[in-house]
Amino acid sequence: MKNIDKIIKILKKDTKDFVIPSVTELSEKKDITPYMILVSTLLSLRTKDEITYEVSKRLFDIAKTPEELLEIPIKRLEKIIFKTGFYHNKARTLREVSKEIIENYSGKVPSTIDELTSLKGVGRKTANLVVIKGFDKPGICVDTHVHRISNRLGLVQTKNADKTELALRKDLPKKYWMEINDLLVKYGQNVCRPISPHCKECRLTTYCKFFKENKK
């Protein structure tokens, strides 16, 4: 993958002072578990980072295990996670996932992507993030930022996040797998935005296919 070492070096330097993603921040706490990482990731879907962090902490004050979550009445659970949006669906998903983990995995979150994606409502993005943050195992978590920036830089040429993941698994050096999400999420939130990216502030334009095609 051409220039990837230089790109990663710039990303590390230029994002070091940016706020880290909420799930990453939670994962760095001493008492965090793979189950809590999974729950927080599910809450984060279509939700701002600061809201995800706030709601996750509120929920974990009450329930840290699938057994404890299932003890929360559905209406109360919806009230707790209300600020994340889509709270009806998320509450049902959290309960169904918790039940599956208890019944099929003895209450322990599985540690492989195939097992995780067998859980209702868990896609590859969520599964990869849980594998990385919950089990410290290699994975490539591709969200909208990773998909967008990887294509803008010309690292991949793909139409959706799943295809981006497969392309990155093929060509991205494995030493960068576990950190690529944090780097590109921070960069995507602050510099390489979906609309009106801050190309004048970007030090990756030398390598950027998007810039060369659109900012002449």
Amino acid at 97: V
Closest CA to 140 of 125, 121, 151: 125
HEC profile of the chain: CCCHHHHHHHHHHHHCCCCCCHHHHHHCCCCCCHHHHHHHHHHHCCCCHHHHHHHHHHHHCCCCCHHHHHCCCHHHHHHHCHHHCCHHHHHHHHHHHHHHHHHHHCCCCCCCHHHHHCCCCCCHHHHHHHHHHHHCCCCCCCCHHHHHHHHHCCCCCCCCHHHHHHHHHHHCCHHHHHHHHHHHHHHHHHCCCCCCCCHHHCCCHHHCHHHHHHCC
Query: Which residue bears the tokens 């070492």?
Result: 5
Give the residue ranges of the annotated binding site.
Answer: 192, 199, 202, 208
Give the residue ranges of the annotated binding site for [4Fe-4S] cluster.
Answer: 192, 199, 202, 208
Query: What φ, ψ does residue 50 adopt, rounded to 5°?
Result: -65, -35
